[in-house]
Amino acid sequence: MRRRGSRLRKQDYTLIIDQFPDNTQITTANGLAARFSNASVIDFKLTGTLIEARLMYTSPFSTDSNAFWTSNGVRTFHELSGQLELFASSSFRDSGLQELVAKGVISASTQAFRRIPLTICDLPLLENIPSYTEFTGTAITEFNFPSVIKIDGYALLGSGNSSRIYNFPKCTQLGDSTTVNNSCFDDVPVGATIRLNIALQDSTDPDIVANRDRGVIFEFVN
């Protein structure tokens, strides 16, 4: 059973979202609640473009598909309760998202992070990197995903701008097949380092072989 987040005082806000000033999408509690499944907003504060809120939820608590999918809509998303479990498909696609912090999320669906220019990424419990994750334009030079056990096919397309180190110390599965190239690392730049679990050290998985042959560095860690 997954450990829940620590108890919060009544006045604490557990969700903080900052929106781009020229394209504010959410102005009411109902507008915010509509972006999630199995959640209702019990406290909502809007100051300029900044939303601070507390949500009441039932499990599974997740974003809705396309929840924040809008060009330059949301630049920061901090979910601090540890109760949000899932980013649904296309949750932040093309949103211009720069800061993503969600301490409890364990799963993400396809395109959840597509084409977002992150500067901060903190997803300590996330167990998969979903298909079509494009950290396009990101300023992050080292990605750390300490709990990821699977990288989905077509996961890191378009991630070749400035990302150079990818840490997946628990990852033992690349896509759904070990006999074909699942395109997990397409567009990872030559010279980049990908760290995977030591269980894959002697693997002949085509995702490793094909990218190692073109100059991507693979390291295997405990």
CA nearest 13: which of 46, 35, 59, 49?
Answer: 46
Q: Report pLDDT for 72.
A: 61
- Within this chain, do residues 104 and 154 fall inside the same structural domain, yes or no? no
The whole-number pLDDT of residue 70 equals: 76
Asked if 37 and 81 sit in the same domain, the reply is yes
**Residues of the chain under the 50 pLDDT cut:** 1-10
Say if residue 178 is in the same domain as residue 145: yes
In a domain, 16, yes or no: yes
Q: Compute CA distances 99 → 86, 92, 197, whole Å.
A: 17, 11, 27
Position 41 scores a pLDDT of 96
pLDDT digits (tens, 9 = 90+) for 25-47: 899 999 999 999 999 999 999 99
Residue 156 confidence (pLDDT): 85
- In tens, the pLDDT along 65-102 reads 999 987 667 999 999 999 999 999 999 998 889 999 99
Q: What is the pLDDT of residue 79?
A: 96
Give pLDDT, residue 4.
44
pLDDT at residue 71, rounded to an integer: 61
Instruction: State which residues form the domain around 218.
Output: 129-222
SS3 state of residue 217: strand
The verdict on 46 and 148 lying in the same domain is no
Domain assignment present for 3 = no
What is the pLDDT, as a whole number, of residue 160? 63
Q: Which tokens sit at 187?
A: 């567009």
Structure tokens at 191: 């010279």
DSSP secondary structure letter of residue 31: H
pLDDT at res. 162: 54
Tell me, yes or no, whether 146 and 117 share the same domain: no
The pLDDT score that the predictor gives to residue 66 is: 93
Residues 74 and 143 in one domain: no
